[in-house]
Amino acid sequence: MKHLSNDVKSFRSLNGLKVLVVDDNSDSLELIRLILEGYSVQIATATSTREALKVLAHWEPDVLISDIAMPGEDGYSLMRQVRILSECGQCKHIPAIAITALITEDGQTQAFGAGFDVYTQKPVDPDGLGEIVAELVGNNARRCA
């Protein structure tokens, strides 16, 4: 495994980026938080769509990472609401990563249709997550990781 600081040098610095991570699973939330803290990212976390929208009301992240399968309102619902807010000018366009334990074509179609930019599988790869975030803030290109 490569040393984390070498990975950071291989793409745009993530130092100071603000990322909102949304996941109802505390272990997944903690893993992603630890990975991103290794890249000196500022992190806010939420465990539900409702909580994430409250965070967005007062904090503008550079990237949103959200689990798809959450009780109540899922990640698709969250993303649709975030895109409506950006279209109305209530927040900027936020590049977004959908994470899920089960990758499917239908899930990918739904994720991109809801407004996600990247669709990837859990558990996330630490090196891969840093690269995806760096690519998103640099390109905003849609892709399946």
- pLDDT confidence tier of residue 13, bands split at 50, 70 and 90: low
Predicted model pTM? 0.85
Residue 63 near residue 34 (C-beta atoms within 8 A): no
Q: What is the pLDDT of residues 19-74, one digit of tens each?
A: 999 999 999 999 999 999 988 899 999 999 999 999 999 999 999 999 999 999 99
DSSP for residue 11: S
Both structure tokens of 22: 């949304």
CB 43 within 8 A of CB 37: yes
Which domains are delineated in the chain?
A: 4-136 (3.40.50.2300)
Q: Determine the pLDDT at residue 139.
A: 55
pLDDT digits (tens, 9 = 90+) for 75-86: 999 999 999 988
Residue 104 and residue 45: Cα distance in Å, rounded? Answer: 26
Residue found under tokens 């930019």: 117
Give the tens place of pLDDT for each residue, 89-144: 667 789 999 999 988 999 999 999 999 999 999 988 888 999 999 888 885 444 44
